[in-house]
Amino acid sequence: MFVSALALALTAASPSSGALPATLAAAPELAAETLAAGRGEEALVTLQKASAADPHDPAVLINLGIAYAHAGDEVKARAAFQQALTCQEVIELDTADGTTTDSRKLARKAIRMLERGEFRPAATRAGQLTYRD
């Protein structure tokens, strides 16, 4: 299971040992609790609806990208992260680990993580390793 709650849970790629900060749990359209619980399909439906209602919300777009990445759709994940990066509004976002950062920094971090394969399950990432003869 991956933990990716709110737009900054990019820093967590392993199960959470504690509860989500109250600010994360209080915004159901961000599907933070659903993502953290490993219910990716449910989170994806919630985030797609939220994105359709407000296609310029960087927090929703980043979490949507996380949900797509966890579902294995890296093309849609990258598109959501890119869209968050280009949003006119830059907002401060709380993370699952309690830190805060701006939405553009987070979107750039998400894209780098996607490029490194950090959203893939550990078993899939192991296939990326190379060995020396």
Q: Quote the radius of gyration of the chain (alpha carbons, Å).
A: 14
What is the domain-level CATH number for residue 66? 1.25.40
Range name among 28-32, 48-52, 109-113 with the lowest pLDDT average: 28-32
- Global pTM reads 0.75
- Residue 98 is assigned to a structural domain of this protein: yes
| Span 121-128, average pLDDT | 57
- Residue 1 is assigned to a structural domain of this protein: no
- Residue 125 is assigned to a structural domain of this protein: no
Q: Which amino acid is present at 6?
A: L
Nearest to 9 by CA among 80, 59, 44: 59
If one counts the domains in the chain, the total is 1
Which is more confidently placed, 52 or 26?
A: 52
Domain with 38, as residue range(s), is 6-14+21-120
Judged by DSSP in three states, 62 sits in helix
Range name among 8-12, 79-83, 88-92 with the lowest pLDDT average: 8-12
CA distance 23 to 82: 25
- Residue 63 is assigned to a structural domain of this protein: yes
Residue 14 has pLDDT above 50, yes or no: no
